Each structure stands twice: as structure tokens, then as C-alpha cells.
């Protein structure tokens, strides 16, 4: 996949957009995942990690980290083609699988409706949610400053996600469904995973993990809670 040219990658996004499925999750959620990457400055080396947390307690149950050389160029709107290969490796070696994964990035709230959460959901066949720190496309009305308030993101006359306040008075995050989950559940789960920080614990813990790996504080590999 990383061997595609940028033009081929755009074509892939457009051709696979129709395969996305948005539907309610079946059954109760007991394990949630968070995924993120951290890059070495001035290098093509990146660390990709997935953290698994009990839900609703949000205690870490397992994680997986890999180090990988990035080969696809950094192009806004095509970042998933850099990030998916190492994320898939981290997913495949994960010792405990969650029922859904929340990724640091966009899902459907993408100019071609194929953010990293959509892309990962399709190739891993897992429900996914995109939770980004910056808006990529569209607009939204101002939000009330209270935690839990949200406004839909509108792009080309379509609701593609929402801006969600996860903590009183802090900047919102931008939440959209990736695959095999609906928009309302994506928002509700992102809010349920917010515990006093702007980022939900899923992506916050993944962010902490991959940065620790980049600094050499955590070795690439896997960990599983033993209790």
C-alpha cells in the first residue's frame, strides 16, 4: 500500500469509500483501543502503538508498539498511507483485541471521506473512530464551553462528524466515525473516554506510549496485564 503513488492513493480512497459501513455496535463494549504514532524529528523512523483499555474503567490491559521506516511521503489528506502499515503490524501482534479502536486522526471528516480511521477500519475489519486535534475539512458553529457540548461539522452540505468539548473550557476535539460504527455512538464513546483531559484516554494513552518508545523508555514489542 505504501508503494502507491499519491495519485493512485487518491484513487484508492475514492474507490473504497463506498465500502464504509456505519451502523450501531452490536453488544456491550468492554475493551476499547487507542492508536497513535510518534515520529523521530528529521528521520523517516516512526513508532506506532495501540493501547487496549478496559471499559468503562479505562485501565490499560495491553499494548503493542512497533518501530518502522516510513516510505510514503508526507501529504495532507493521504497520511493514512504512511501510518496504516506500522499500525497494522502493531494490531497483528496485539495480545488482546479490543472491540473498537479510536485513532488519533480523522475518520469520515476527511475531504474524500477516507481518513486514517476509515482506512484502518476497512483493512483491519474493526469498528473505528477518528478523534483529531485539528479540523481537516468543513466548518462548525461555536460550542458552549461546557464538557459534552458538540456541534456538527458540515462539509459540502453533508454532516461528516462533530466538534466535541471533552473538558470545560478547552479546545474541542473532532470526532467522526471510521467504519462499523455510527456517528452518535462515536461521539458518545469519545466523551465516555474523556477523563479530565482534552484527549480521550484511548488516544491519550496511545500518545504517551509511542512518545515513550521514541524516547527509548519503552522497547518495541507487546505487553499484557497479568492479573
Q: How does pLDDT run across 121-137, given as a tens digit for each residue?
A: 999 999 999 999 999 99
Does residue 21 belong to any structural domain of this protein? yes
Does residue 14 belong to any structural domain of this protein? yes
Query: Has residue 208 got a pLDDT over 70?
Result: yes
Does residue 1 belong to any structural domain of this protein? no
Query: Has residue 60 got a pLDDT over 70?
Result: yes
Query: Has residue 161 got a pLDDT over 80?
Result: yes
Q: CATH code at 153?
A: 3.30.2170.10
pLDDT of residue 206: 99
pLDDT of residue 42: 86
Does residue 216 belong to any structural domain of this protein? yes
Residue with cell 499500525: 87
Query: Has residue 2 got a pLDDT over 70?
Result: no
pLDDT of residue 89: 98
How far is residue 223's CA from residue 187's CA, in Å, rounded to a whole number? 29
Asked if 36 and 210 count as a contact pair (C-beta separation under 8 A), the reply is yes
Give the pLDDT band of residue 106 (cuts 50, 70, 90).
very high
Phi (first) and psi of residue 141, to 5 degrees: -75, 160
The model carries a pTM of 0.96
Instruction: Answer whether the bond into residue 185 is a cis peptide, omega within 30°.
Output: no
Q: Which residue, among 131, 164, 162, has the nearest Cα to 147 in the 3D structure?
A: 164
Query: Has residue 227 got a pLDDT over 90?
Result: no
How far is residue 35's CA from residue 17's CA, in Å, rounded to a whole number? 21
Does residue 133 belong to any structural domain of this protein? yes
Does residue 68 belong to any structural domain of this protein? yes
Does residue 117 belong to any structural domain of this protein? yes
pLDDT of residue 1: 64
Asked if 130 and 106 count as a contact pair (C-beta separation under 8 A), the reply is yes
Containing structural domain, residue 127: 6-224
Asked if 173 and 161 count as a contact pair (C-beta separation under 8 A), the reply is no
Does residue 155 belong to any structural domain of this protein? yes
Please count the other Cβ atoms lying within 10 Å of the Cβ belonging to residue 2: 16
Count structural domains, the chain: 1
Give the pLDDT band of residue 35 (cuts 50, 70, 90).
very high
- Which residues does 226 contact at the CB level (< 8 Å), separation at least 6? none
Give the pLDDT band of residue 91 (cuts 50, 70, 90).
very high
How far is residue 61's CA from residue 17's CA, in Å, rounded to a whole number? 33
Q: Name the average pLDDT for the chain.
A: 97
Query: Has residue 175 got a pLDDT over 90?
Result: yes
Phi (first) and psi of residue 93, to 5 degrees: -95, 5
Question: Once rounded to an integer, what is the mean pLDDT over residues 139-148?
Answer: 97
Question: Once rounded to an integer, what is the mean pLDDT over residues 141-162?
Answer: 98
Amino acid at each position: 500500500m505504501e508503494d502507491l503513488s499519491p495519485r493512485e492513493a487518491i484513487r484508492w480512497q475514492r474507490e473504497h469509500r463506498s465500502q464504509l459501513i456505519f451502523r450501531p455496535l452490536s453488544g456491550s463494549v468492554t475493551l476499547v483501543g487507542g492508536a497513535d504514532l510518534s515520529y523521530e524529528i528529521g528521520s523517516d523512523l516512526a513508532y506506532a502503538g495501540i493501547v487496549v483499555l478496559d471499559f468503562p474503567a479505562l485501565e490499560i490491559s495491553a499494548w503493542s508498539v512497533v518501530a518502522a521506516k516510513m516510505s510514503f511521503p508526507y501529504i495532507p489528506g493521504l497520511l493514512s498511507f504512511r501510518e496504516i502499515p506500522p499500525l497494522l503490524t502493531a494490531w497483528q501482534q496485539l495480545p488482546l483485541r479490543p472491540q473498537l479502536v479510536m485513532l488519533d486522526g480523522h475518520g469520515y471528516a476527511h475531504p474524500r471521506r477516507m481518513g486514517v480511521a476509515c482506512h484502518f477500519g476497512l483493512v483491519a475489519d474493526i469498528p473505528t473512530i477518528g478523534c483529531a486535534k485539528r479540523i481537516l475539512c468543513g466548518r462548525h458553529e461555536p460550542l458552549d464551553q461546557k464538557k459534552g457540548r458538540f456541534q456538527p461539522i458540515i462539509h459540502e452540505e453533508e454532516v461528516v462528524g462533530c466538534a466535541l468539548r471533552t473538558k470545560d473550557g478547552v479546545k474541542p476535539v473532532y470526532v467522526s466515525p471510521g467504519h462499523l460504527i455510527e456517528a452518535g455512538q462515536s461521539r458518545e464513546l469519545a466523551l465516555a473516554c474523556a477523563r479530565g483531559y482534552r484527549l480521550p484516554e484511548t488516544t491519550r494513552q496511545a500518545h504517551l506510549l509511542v512518545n515513550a518508545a521514541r524516547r527509548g523508555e519503552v522497547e518495541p514489542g507487546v505487553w499484557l496485564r497479568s492479573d
